[in-house]
Amino acid sequence: MKLTNEELLEMQRRMLRIRLFDERASKMVKRGQIPGTVHTSVGQEAQVVGACMAVRADDYMTGNHRSHGHPIGKGSALGPLMAELLGKATGICQGKGGSLHLADFAVGSLGESGIVGSSIPIAAGAALSSKLLAQDRVALAFFGDGAANQGGLYEAMNLAGIWRLPVVFLCENNQYALSTPAATVTSGRIADRAHGFDIPGVRVDDGQDVLAVHDAVREAADRARRGEGPSLVEVMTYRFHEHSEGLRLSTDYRDAAERDAWLARDPITLFRERLLADGVAAAEALDALEAEVADEVEAAARFALESPLPEPEVAFADLYTDPSAAEVAA
């Protein structure tokens, strides 16, 4: 898949957005500016952006608790996302979703989910809409290695298989379900499970390579768009932070050598080197890109910090489309 220089630089831009957004959010959790916690995608940016940029802007997407990277990768504006993390009135969900439940319908993001595996059937339904309404859209369902052991995934893969729904099931295998090594709770290879449904299942062994992820997902998305049905793409990656910010575990559940090996392969650094080596951009241009994204994230943080908190009555709105029903409920 030949990508233009603009597309390649846009990949780097989106990976940087995720990195800097999440690093900023991490600081804000520590400072008590973000209530609750967040789960960062630091270290997994190539896996997220490679997938998001392999589908169209109007394609559907569902996600999980590691939730900021997906909408950012799909093209969301950063300010309303950051404001949502802070529970502000200007948040993308008006302060009612928070980090775990981001959604930005304007970019096809139908919602992240705090319940592991729970959003996967939603993606199958969006793909059914696309098919019956002849919308030519694909649904990209992100889930982790933990969700690969939820039954709903296999119900969704079976349904998408028999109905030839345009779904790309994307397993972000960061190798740990919180502290539990995936290998100890997962029988066989996740990608191979697709074969039982007679749909393609591929594994991207180097999920730190944004182009490798992109190519695999692009093939799956193209296939789905041609009406040939769903695919499963498993991407091997690693999270650089703890499961969630502020979480301190007494056991060191990840092997030091393993961690060092993965940390040495920062997807953003790797792609920067590649862009330089391929002559896509000069170092100065990439530095400028980084500075630009840093400013953008800083502006988003400022917007979020300066935004007002929601009025209390907002808690009582939007349960139903029909306000008279909500009045009865309240």
Partner 1 sequence: MSQMTYLGAIGAAQLEAMQADERVIIFGEDVEANVYGTTGAGKSRQAEGDFLQLFGRDRIRNTPISEEVMVGAAAGAAMTGLRPIVDLSYSSFLYLAMDQFVNQVAKNRYMFGGQASLPVVFRSAMFYGLSTGAHHSDRPYPMFMNVPGLKIIAPATPSDAKGLLRAAIDSDDPVLSFEAVPLWGSKEEVDDGEYRIPLGVARTAREGEDVTVVAISGAVPEALAAAEALGDEGISVEVIDPRTLVPLDTEAILRSVRRTGRLVVADPAHRTCGAAAEVSALVAELAFDALRAPIARVTTPDMQIPFSPALERQLYPTRETIADAVRGVCGRSREEAMA
Question: What mask of x and - would describe binding to partner 1 in positions 142 to 161, judged by CB under 8 A?
Answer: ---------xx--xx-xx--
Three-state SS at 4: coil
Does position 325 interact with partner 1 (CB under 8 A)? The reply is yes
CB of 9 to partner 1, least distance (A): 30
Per-residue CA distances from 132 to 8, 58, 137 (Å): 34, 16, 11
User: How far apart, in whole angstroms, are the C-alpha atoms of residue 23 and residue 178?
Assistant: 19
Does position 124 interact with partner 1 (CB under 8 A)? The reply is yes
The tokens for 242 are 């703890």
Does position 82 interact with partner 1 (CB under 8 A)? The reply is no
Sign of CA dihedral 95, 99, 100, 102: positive
Strands (E), 85-225: 139-144, 167-173, 176-177, 180-181, 201-204
- For residues 246-262, one letter each, b for 16 or more C-beta atoms within 10 angstroms of the residue's C-beta and e for the rest, the string is eeeeeeeebeeeeeeeb
Q: How many residues does the chain have?
A: 330
Residue among 21, 60, 262, 303 that touches partner 1 (CB under 8 A): 60
Does position 250 interact with partner 1 (CB under 8 A)? The reply is no
Does position 329 interact with partner 1 (CB under 8 A)? The reply is yes
Q: Of the ranges 7-15, 171-179, 275-283, 311-319, which one interacts with partner 1 (CB under 8 A)?
A: 311-319
Does position 175 interact with partner 1 (CB under 8 A)? The reply is no
Residue among 162, 185, 247, 283 that touches partner 1 (CB under 8 A): 162
Task: Pick between residue 54 and residue 123 the one whose CB is nearest to partner 1.
Answer: 123
User: How far apart, in whole angstroms, are the C-alpha atoms of residue 88 and residue 95?
Assistant: 5
In the complex, the residues that contact partner 1 under the rule CB under 8 A are 60, 62, 91-97, 101, 103-105, 110-111, 113-115, 118-130, 132-133, 135, 139, 151-152, 155-156, 158-159, 162-163, 317-322, 324-325, 328-329
